[in-house]
């Protein structure tokens, strides 16, 4: 076996969850993330950084769009080898669209800016005031 691959995880994961875009449901996303980190033996400092990044991203989206309207977060957690990727798509419910003014692309980027320094890679996949999608990637260190 290639010695460089010996410390790479042999199991993978892909998990999808949908939660309301509301602060009271953030604990569900963070608890799911905790379970994933526990399963893959992610060290505590990395786990804390990933949790802060996810919480910051979701809170930023809630503050921009969902304090006066209802929406949903689609979260996809993927682990492949030594990488954890979290993709977040938020979207407003159709009957809520007329209730608020859509945030600008600049406002969305500004609100999510702190997440860039917490993740190892951050990519906007789609930007729209009514719907945004972004992906955060984290390098995972193997804990012996």
| 5: in domain | no
Q: Which two tokens stand for residue 121?
A: 């890679």
| 20: in domain | yes
Q: What total number of domains does the chain contain?
A: 1
The CA-atom distances, in angstroms, between 133 and each of 37, 110, 112 are 23, 15, 12
Q: How confident is the model at residue 117 (pLDDT cuts 50, 70, 90)?
A: very high
Q: Minimum mean pLDDT among 13-27, 28-42, 53-67, 127-141: which range?
A: 127-141
Residue labelled with tokens 């990488």: 83
User: What CATH number is attached to the domain comprising 16?
Assistant: 3.30.565.10
| 1: in domain | no
| 144: in domain | no
| 36: in domain | yes
Give the pTM: 0.84
| 3: in domain | no
Domain with 134 in it: 10-139
Distance CA 76, CA 11 (A): 17
Q: Which two tokens stand for residue 48?
A: 């804390």
Q: What is the mean pLDDT of residues 82-100?
A: 80
Residue 94: the pLDDT is 64
């Amino acid at each position: 076996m290639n010695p460089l691959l010996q410390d790479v995880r042999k199991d993978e994961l892909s998990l999808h969850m949908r939660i309301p875009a509301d602060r009271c449901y953030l604990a569900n996303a963070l608890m799911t993330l905790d379970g994933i980190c526990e399963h893959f033996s992610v060290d505590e400092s990395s786990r804390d950084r990933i949790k802060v990044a996810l919480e910051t991203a979701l809170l930023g989206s809630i503050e921009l769009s969902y304090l006066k309207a209802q929406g949903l977060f689609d979260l996809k957690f993927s682990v492949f080898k030594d990488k954890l990727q979290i993709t977040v798509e938020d979207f407003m419910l159709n009957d809520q669209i007329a209730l608020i003014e859509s945030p600008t692309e600049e406002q969305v980027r500004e609100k999510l800016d702190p997440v860039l320094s917490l993740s190892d890679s951050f990519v906007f996949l789609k930007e729209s005031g009514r719907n945004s999608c972004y992906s955060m990637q984290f390098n995972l260190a193997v804990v012996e």
